[in-house]
């Protein structure tokens, strides 16, 4: 589908694209979270052979909306001995980085017919920066501050333990996660997520998942594991372990502050899943070239929901890891494996250096911000 | 074959052994439907249980439980069944057969000690059987029988500041202190109704309310 | 008639001005429960932590103390059976059975074979149902959520059997001194057979979910180890004892209700850790099913109650035609029966361990003293030993593995 580049004075659609993408990202995340919770509840109830939500709306579809409204109108309880400023800052810190990390995540392409009649493809991304992956890593690690500070400021021992667990867990898993991401960078030869996705175009056999077999597959599994750990979801939900620490870091949070933790958790699930889709599963591209007529964002959504389904699946089937086992898995198994794979990929790339030069083809996608900057000049 | 030899198999080996070691410890032996209950002197209960546990022929290795019984007849303040003492503590011991070692006889025996009301103290057997810890605390809680040498003799089921020992037969039963609109208390359950003695909430102990007689 | 003096009741620590803040430098005291999702009720544990490692663990209980033993002294023997349900509310039939056996021992009566068989079937159904709750909650504590719903799905079928028999799901009071309150209704045995035929697939399903799961093994193996000698000394019985490798089962060691006529194995563990206790209970469910299958095949016809009209009320149809039946009915439900003076204790293998009612009779129609040997209460003593030096996450696994019911601990 080709859209004419409408223009109103100095503003044209291409210039507006990052803003549209921003609205899409924020709106999507905020709007999709209730749906995700509903999907999770329905899927998990089907897996557990029970009925699941079915009271509010068709098949309980409006249940999460109702829950949200309830949370919104709940009394905002503030325990007596909390560290007030940090206590209020923590839920914000848990939610904002998760939303911000979506900024460099390309989720589709749009083709515009320019004034000169040429057709150009632009990525749907808020900030098409060259270090997009680093930005996402930075934001993902910022998010843990929300949890640690919540645990600290609540003045509750369970929360404190939850915060401690979260910090230890995120530190351990971020290493493996970064190494996995670095491997993808090596595979694609760019830190820009748009380029990474572009390198995986034209069919699923080009996905990084199947690159350098079997290294790509192993490193994808490592990324998926550390992605679950990073977002504190089952079986890695130690910081909020229901049966051990009651609710861990958000024991003392109620009302909208609790809802913000919840939103933050789901937003970060979406973002890390989106990163996984972009890095390993071909991003917005279709798995088969003949399916190219389907718009990119639909493919992106399909892959995103597939990964979300994996989250739910894990939650339904696996027991929770213990603290020390989690550390063992992170430091003794995943980190060395990821290091070895990174090394092997690097060696491989070095050995076929001539091709590696060409491995980064000239992009057919126009870098929208760059063009906008040129236009201003 | 003398007459005592004929009677000997009828007497259980536990009784013989205890009698050998502690000639005057056994006060009474009671057989009822195949169970043997031996009432012993309470001063020697620790030694007797140690004997029962350690003697290779007896080998009562499994501490099943211990419980208290109050024999007070509240109507005339006498003790029922002609008991010379108000309380009894019953130790329920079992010789558990472990095929790995071949020890144990699958036998059960009940050892009793009488406890007078004036001096409700029994030597604790937690040194012999650590499992007596909780049951002894329960007996202390419910009957007010103290166990000397118990490592941690606190109330276990009732609140820490509870007044009275509920399983005693003279523990007053009656209505809770429920305030009705006309200022009267709730209905009585029995004739022996007094106001409820054990307000357990912090700061509202019975002594502070002034309700203890 | 004096109340106990205050010296015996030292004021609470709070009242003495002792704060419950850290005992030592560097350790943290954390209060787990009474409102905690995985203490299986209202158990309260005071844990002293060094990091997340447990230095000491002190259980506090009594939050659901309802004075059941005291209450039993003010009920006739026939009526007291209803409060025994409420002790271990997950294995009501077995509590009823233990109580009834003790009263029957006092009375010196024995239940006819059909009654025995029905008791066996009911108590084994109850054992499976209780183990289902244990499995579900234990798995939920460890974080495996699905097993909980699967186990409760099957438990519902077992409770339906109880309901079909007695009209009540959890507090049936169907086993009473002298027999049962009524015979199995029409079609009950067939339905029971059908449920039993289905169970092995379900057991396999649970084991598929958790048995070979490396996380589950890692969470349970080598955790909460206790030796057989410690179990003896602490009075720990039941699957916890069998997990240490001691094949002690009261159904075999001191058979009641004709359990010696059934063929069943006594599953044992090797190391006495959480995993062994899990394996023992899973195997026990299969063995219980075997017992039920045998009982269903061999159940004889005939009366279910003791024929003595001084103990068991006459059936309803007799009341229409017989004056004696009316008199017996009236006397039994108002005054009850008078067992001879004596004391009785019959141990019974409950899902938690050795349960038994120590009943002191003074010859009247009320039990003078009705004491339950609470297996959970005794098993709980092992908790501190099992927990020391472990992590918080292990505490919930260990609590789950000793399978406590607070209704029975606090009574």
Looking at CA atoms only, how far is residue A108 from chain C in angstroms? Answer: 37
Q: Chain B residue with minimal CA distance to C372? A: B67
Q: Are residues B68 and B93 in the same domain?
A: yes
Residue C108: the pLDDT is 87
Q: Are B14 and B37 in contact (CB under 8 A)?
A: no
SS (H, E, C) chain A: CEEECCEECCEEHHHHHHHHHHHHHHHHHHHHHHHHHHHHHHHHHHHCCCCCCCCCCHHHCCHHHHHHHHHHHCCCCCCCCCCHHHHHHHHHHHHHHHHHHHHHCCCEEEEEECCCCCEEEEEECCCCCCCHHHHHHHHHHHHHHHHHHHHHHCCCHHHHHHHHHHHHHHHHHHHHHHHHHHHHHHHHCCCCHHHHHHCCCCCHHHCHHHCCCCHHHHHHHHHHHHHHHHCCCCCCCHHHCHHHHCCHHHCCCCHHHHHHHHHHHHHHHHHHHHHHHHHHCCCCCCCCHHHCCCCHHHHHHHHHHHHHHHHHHHHHHCCCCCHHHHHHHHHHHHHHHHHHHHHHHHHHHHHCHHHHHHCCCCCCECCHHHHHHHHHC
Residue B189: predicted pLDDT: 46
Q: At what angle do helices A255-280 and A63-73 cross, to 10 degrees?
A: 140
Give exposure, A125-139, as e/b (b: 16+ Cβ within 10 Å). Answer: bbebbbebbebbbeb
The distance of B48 to chain C (nearest Cα, Å) reads: 16
> Does the residue B56 lie in any domain?
yes
Q: Are B121 and B142 in contact (CB under 8 A)?
A: no
| Residue B162 covered by a domain | no
Beta-strand pair B107-115/B35-40: parallel
Give the mutation candidate from B28, B98, B127 for the C interface (greatest C CB count, under 10 A).
B98
Q: Which domains are seen in chain C, by residue range?
A: 68-410 (1.10.645.10)
Q: Which of B61, B90, B133 sits opposite C358 (nearest CB)?
A: B90
C32, containing H or E segment: strand C28-32
| Alpha carbon distance, N-terminus to C-terminus of chain B | 64
Evaluate if residue C383 carries a pLDDT over 70: yes
Question: Between A5 and C66, where is the model more confident?
Answer: C66
Q: Does residue B167 fall inside a structural domain?
A: no
The answer to whether position B137 is within a domain reads yes
- Do B140 and B181 lie in one domain? The reply is no
Best residue in A46, A322, A329, A330 to probe C by mutation, most C CBs within 10 Å?
A: A322
Per-residue pLDDT averaged across C64-82, rounded?
A: 87
Same domain, residue pair B52 and B24: yes
Taking an 8 Å cut-off on Cβ atoms, the answer to whether C373 and B92 are in contact is yes
The verdict on C394 touching A (C-beta cutoff 8 Å) is yes
Residue B53 shares a structural domain with residue B11: yes
Q: Would you say C299 and C112 are in contact if contact means Cβ atoms under 8 Å apart?
A: no
Q: Is A234 in Cβ contact with C145 (below 8 Å)?
A: yes
Report yes or no on B165 lying in a domain: no
- Tell me if B166 is assigned to some domain: no
Q: How many other CB atoms are found less than 10 A from the CB of residue C63?
A: 17
Show which subunits contact A, needing at least 3 CB pairs below 8 angstroms: C
* Distance (Å, whole) CA A209 – CA A218: 8
Quick check: C347 and B197 CB within 8 A?
no
B129 and B177 housed in the same domain = no
Q: What is the pLDDT of residue A126?
A: 77
Q: Give the nearest partner residue to C144 out of A238, A241, A319, using CB atoms.
A: A319
For residue A317, give the nearest of C52, C140, C146 by CB distance: C146
Asked if C260 has any chain B CB less than 8 Å from its own CB, the reply is no
For the segment C307-318, what is each residue's pLDDT rounded down to a tens digit? 888 888 888 888
Beta strands in C140-187 (DSSP E): 175-176, 179-180
**One domain, residues B101 and B194:** no
* Cα–Cα distance for residue pair B68/C212, rounded to 1 Å: 47
Whether residues B184 and B107 fall in one domain: no
pLDDT of amino acid C254: 86
Report pLDDT for B1. Answer: 38
How high is the mean pLDDT of chain C?
A: 84
Asked, for residue B111, whether it belongs to a domain, the answer is yes
* Strands B146-148 and B72-73, sheet pairing: unpaired
CATH number at residue B112: 3.30.460.80
B106 in a domain, yes or no? yes
B125: nearest Cα among B164, B160, B87, B93:
B93
What's the confidence (pLDDT) of residue C43? Answer: 86
pLDDT (mean) for C194-206: 88
What pLDDT sits at residue B213?
37
Q: Do C234 and C382 form a contact (C-beta atoms < 8 A)?
A: yes
B151 and B209 belong to one structural domain: no
């919540």: which residue's tokens?
A150
Domain span including residue B211: 172-213
Nearest to C357 by CA among C373, C341, C369, C381: C373
Q: Which residues of A are less than 8 Å from C141 in CB distance?
A: 243
Which residues, including other chains, have CB under 8 Å from residue C323's CB and lie 6 or more apart?
none
Do B112 and B42 lie in one domain? The reply is yes
Q: How many domains are contained in chain B?
A: 2
Same domain, B152 and B210: no
Is B67 in Cβ contact with C381 (below 8 Å)? no
C391 in contact with A, Cβ within 8 Å: yes
Q: Are residues B144 and B184 in the same domain?
A: no
Task: Answer yes or no: is pLDDT of C11 > 70.
Answer: no
CA-nearest residue to C14 within chain B is: B202
* Pairwise CB contact (< 8 Å): C393 & A242: no
Give percent of chain B with pLDDT exceeding 70: 76
pLDDT digit string (tens) for C132-161? Answer: 999 988 888 888 888 888 888 889 999 999
Residue segments in chain A with a per-residue pLDDT below the cut of 70: 1, 242, 353-377
The ipTM estimated for the assembled molecules is 0.84
Residues B106 and B200 in one domain: no
Question: Between the ranges A234-243, A279-288, B11-20, C77-86, where is the mean pLDDT highest?
Answer: C77-86
Lowest mean pLDDT of A245-249, C85-89, C124-128, C292-296, name the range: A245-249
Taking CB atoms and an 8 Å limit, are B37 and C343 in contact across chains?
yes
Residue A11 main-chain phi, psi, to 5 deg:
-95, 125
C246-252's contacts with Cβ under 8 Å and 24+ in sequence apart are C246/B96, C246/B98, C246/B100, C247/B99, C248/B96, C248/B97, C248/B98, C249/C349, C250/C347, C250/C348, C250/C349, C250/C354, C251/C349
**C37 → closest Cβ in A47, A243, A316:** A243
């Amino acid at each position: 589908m080709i859209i004419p580049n409408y223009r109103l004075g100095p503003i044209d659609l291409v210039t507006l694209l990052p803003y549209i993408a921003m609205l899409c990202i924020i709106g999507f995340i905020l709007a999709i979270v209730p749906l995700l919770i509903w999907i999770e509840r329905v899927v998990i109830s089907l897996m557990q052979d029970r009925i699941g939500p079915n009271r509010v709306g068709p098949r309980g579809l409006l249940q999460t909306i109702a829950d949200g409204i309830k949370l919104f109108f709940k009394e905002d309880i503030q325990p007596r001995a909390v560290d007030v400023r940090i206590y209020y800052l923590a839920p914000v810190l848990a939610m904002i980085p998760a939303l911000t990390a979506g900024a460099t995540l390309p989720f589709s392409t749009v083709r515009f017919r320019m004034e000169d009649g040429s057709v150009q493809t632009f990525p749907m991304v808020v900030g098409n920066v060259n270090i997009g992956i680093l930005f996402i890593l930075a934001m993902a690690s910022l998010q843990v501050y929300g949890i640690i500070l919540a645990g600290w400021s609540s003045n509750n021992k369970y929360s404190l333990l939850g915060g401690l667990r979260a910090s230890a867990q995120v530190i351990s898993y971020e290493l493996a996660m970064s190494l996995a991401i670095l491997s993808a960078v090596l595979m694609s030869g760019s830190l820009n997520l748009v380029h990474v996705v572009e390198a995986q175009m034209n069919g699923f056999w080009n996905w990084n998942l199947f690159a350098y077999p079997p290294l790509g597959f192993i490193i994808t599994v490592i990324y998926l594991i550390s992605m679950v750990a990073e977002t504190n979801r089952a079986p890695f939900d130690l910081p909020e372990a229901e049966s051990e620490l009651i609710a861990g870091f958000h024991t003392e949070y109620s009302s909208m502050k609790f809802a913000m933790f919840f939103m933050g958790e789901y937003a970060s699930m979406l973002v890390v899943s989106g990163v996984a889709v972009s890095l390993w599963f071909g991003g917005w591209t279709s798995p088969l070239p003949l399916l190219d007529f389907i718009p990119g964002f639909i493919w992106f959504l399909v892959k995103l929901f597939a990964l979300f389904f994996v989250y739910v699946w894990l939650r339904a089937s696996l027991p929770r890891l213990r603290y020390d086992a989690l550390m063992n898995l992170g430091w003794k198994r995943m980190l060395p494996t990821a290091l070895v794979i990174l090394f092997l990929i690097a060696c491989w790339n070095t050995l076929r250096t001539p091709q590696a030069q060409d491995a980064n083809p000239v992009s057919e996608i126009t870098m929208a911000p760059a063009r906008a900057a040129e236009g201003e000049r | 074959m003398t007459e005592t030899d004929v009677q000997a198999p009828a007497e259980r080996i536990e009784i013989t052994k205890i009698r050998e070691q502690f000639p005057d410890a056994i006060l009474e032996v009671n057989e009822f439907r195949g169970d043997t209950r031996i009432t012993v002197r309470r001063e020697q209960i620790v030694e007797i249980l140690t004997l029962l546990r350690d003697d290779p022929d007896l080998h009562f290795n499994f501490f099943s439980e211990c419980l208290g019984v109050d024999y007070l007849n509240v109507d005339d303040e006498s003790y029922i069944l002609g008991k010379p003492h108000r309380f009894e503590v019953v130790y329920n011991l079992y010789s558990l057969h472990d095929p790995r070692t071949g020890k144990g006889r699958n036998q059960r025996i009940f050892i009793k000690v009488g406890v007078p009301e004036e001096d409700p103290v029994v030597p604790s057997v937690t040194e012999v059987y650590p499992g007596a810890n909780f049951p002894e605390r329960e007996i202390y809680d419910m009957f007010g029988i103290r166990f000397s040498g118990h490592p941690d003799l606190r109330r276990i089921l009732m609140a820490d500041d509870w007044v009275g020992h509920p399983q005693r037969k003279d523990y007053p039963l009656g209505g809770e202190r429920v305030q009705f609109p006309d200022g009267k208390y709730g209905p009585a359950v029995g004739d022996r109704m007094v106001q409820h003695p054990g307000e357990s909430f912090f700061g509202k102990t019975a002594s502070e309310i002034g309700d203890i007689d | 008639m004096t109340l106990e003096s205050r010296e015996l009741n030292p004021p609470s620590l709070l009242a003495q001005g002792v704060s419950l803040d850290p005992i030592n430098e560097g350790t943290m005291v954390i209060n787990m429960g009474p409102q905690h999702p995985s203490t299986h009720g209202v158990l309260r544990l005071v844990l002293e932590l060094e990091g997340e490692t447990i230095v000491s663990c002190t259980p506090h209980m009594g939050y659901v103390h309802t004075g059941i033993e005291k209450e039993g002294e003010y009920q006739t023997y026939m009526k007291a059976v209803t409060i025994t349900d409420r002790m271990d509310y997950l294995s009501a039939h077995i509590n009823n059975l233990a109580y009834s056996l003790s009263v029957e021992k006092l009375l010196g009566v024995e239940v006819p074979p059909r009654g025995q068989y029905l008791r066996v079937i009911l108590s084994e159904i109850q054992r499976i149902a209780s183990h289902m709750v244990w499995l579900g909650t234990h798995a939920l504590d460890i974080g495996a959520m699905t097993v909980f719903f699967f186990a409760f799905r099957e438990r519902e079928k077992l409770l339906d059997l109880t309901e079909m028999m007695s009209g009540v799901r959890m507090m049936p009071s169907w086993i009473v001194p002298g027999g049962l309150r009524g015979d199995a209704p029409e079609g009950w045995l067939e339905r029971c057979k059908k449920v039993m035929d289905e169970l092995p697939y379900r057991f396999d399903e649970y084991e598929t979910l958790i048995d070979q799961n490396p996380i589950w093994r890692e969470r349970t193996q080598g955790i909460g180890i206790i030796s057989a000698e410690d179990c003896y000394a602490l009075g720990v019985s039941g699957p916890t004892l069998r997990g240490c490798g001691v094949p002690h089962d009261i159904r075999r060691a001191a058979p009641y209700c004709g359990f010696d006529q059934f063929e069943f194995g006594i599953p044992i563990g090797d190391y006495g850790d959480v995993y062994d206790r899990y394996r023992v209970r899973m195997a026990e469910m299969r063995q219980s099913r075997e017992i039920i299958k045998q009982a269903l095949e061999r159940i004889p016809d005939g009366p279910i109650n003791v024929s003595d009209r001084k103990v068991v009320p006459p059936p309803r149809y007799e009341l229409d035609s017989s004056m004696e039946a009316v008199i017996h009915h009236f006397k039994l439900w108002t005054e009850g029966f008078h067992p001879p003076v004596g004391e009785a204790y019959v141990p019974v293998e409950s899902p938690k361990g050795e349960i038994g009612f120590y009943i002191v009779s003074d010859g009247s129609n009320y039990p003078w003293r009705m004491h339950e040997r609470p297996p959970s209460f005794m098993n709980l003593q092992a908790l501190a030993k099992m927990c020391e030096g472990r992590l918080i996450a292990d505490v919930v696994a260990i609590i789950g593995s000793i399978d406590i019911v607070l209704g029975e601990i606090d009574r």
